[in-house]
Structure 1
Amino acid sequence: MIGLFSTHAQAYLLILSIGTTLVFALPIFLVPLLWARVMQWTLPAQTDLTVYFGRCLGAFILIVEGLMLRAALTGTALVTTFEVLAAVAGFMVVVHIHGALRRIQPWTETVETGFYAGMLVLTLMFWPVG
């Protein structure tokens, strides 16, 4: 399974980077409270810390998006980018399962577990080999 579609690794990164930039990175970075409402989170009365953490998370997502876009367009650090993606996907599965088991997240976040699990599988399938 690992590297089954490795010849299309850069195309995978391009598609993934565009999609996740539009759906996750930019909304979380630019309008974290709007994104949280869309994802069904209950917002606290005091939101400054929420906005701060949302923008911090969005900034880190944008860094990963930049790595993906660079690797997709130039092939630079292709394997390293896939390592980062696999780590992100794996840890996000753990984070979302933990939230689901403790029942501290909206249903939309629990559903998102499948997105990250799928991203991990696809990342392994498109892993650059050879």
Structure 2
Amino acid sequence: MIGLWNTHAQVFLLWLAVGTTLVFALPIFCVPLTWARLMGWAIPAETHLAIYFGRCLGAFILIVEVLMLRAALTGEALLATFEVLGAVAAMMIVVHIHGALRRIQPLSETLEIGFYGGMLLMVLLFWPGLS
């Protein structure tokens, strides 16, 4: 199963980079509280910390987006980028399961368990270099 579609790894990265940049990275980086409201989060009266953490998270997502875009367009660091994406997906599954079990997140965040599970599966299916 791992690397079953490895010949299409760069195309997968390009589509993943475009989609996650538009849906997650840019909104969280530029307008974190607007994004949070759309996702169903209650916004506290004091928002400075939430904005700070949102922009920090958005910045790290943008770094991963650049890694994906570079690997997709040039093939450079392709395997390392897939390793990062596998780690991101696995850790985000843990984060979202934890929030779901504690019942401290909106339904949209709990549903992201499926998104990150699917992302991890796709990363494994497109894993490069296993022909």
With normalisation by structure 2, the TM-score equals 0.99
- Partner amino acid, structure 2, of 1:22: L
- Partner amino acid, structure 1, of 2:124: L
Whether 1:96 and 2:93 are equivalent positions in the alignment is no
- Partner residue of 2:107? 107
- Partner amino acid, structure 2, of 1:39: M
- Partner amino acid, structure 2, of 1:77: A
- Partner residue of 1:14? 14
Distance 2:40 2:57 in 1: 18
Unpaired runs of at least 5, structure 2: none
- Partner amino acid, structure 2, of 1:61: I
- Partner residue of 1:121? 121
Give the Å deviation of 1:129.
1.6
Unpaired runs of at least 5, structure 1: none
- Partner residue of 1:61? 61
- Partner residue of 2:43? 43
- Partner amino acid, structure 2, of 1:128: P
Structure 1 runs, 4 residues or longer, greater than 6 Å off: none
Q: RMSD over aligned Cα, in angstroms? A: 0.4
Distance 2:38 2:4 in 1: 36
- Partner residue of 1:79? 79
Distance 2:15 2:124 in 1: 16
- Partner amino acid, structure 1, of 2:97: I
Q: Deviations over 1:21-61 (max 9, x none)?
A: 00000000000000000000001000000000000000000
Give the Å deviation of 1:81.
0.1
Q: Sequence identity, in percent?
A: 72
- Partner amino acid, structure 2, of 1:38: L
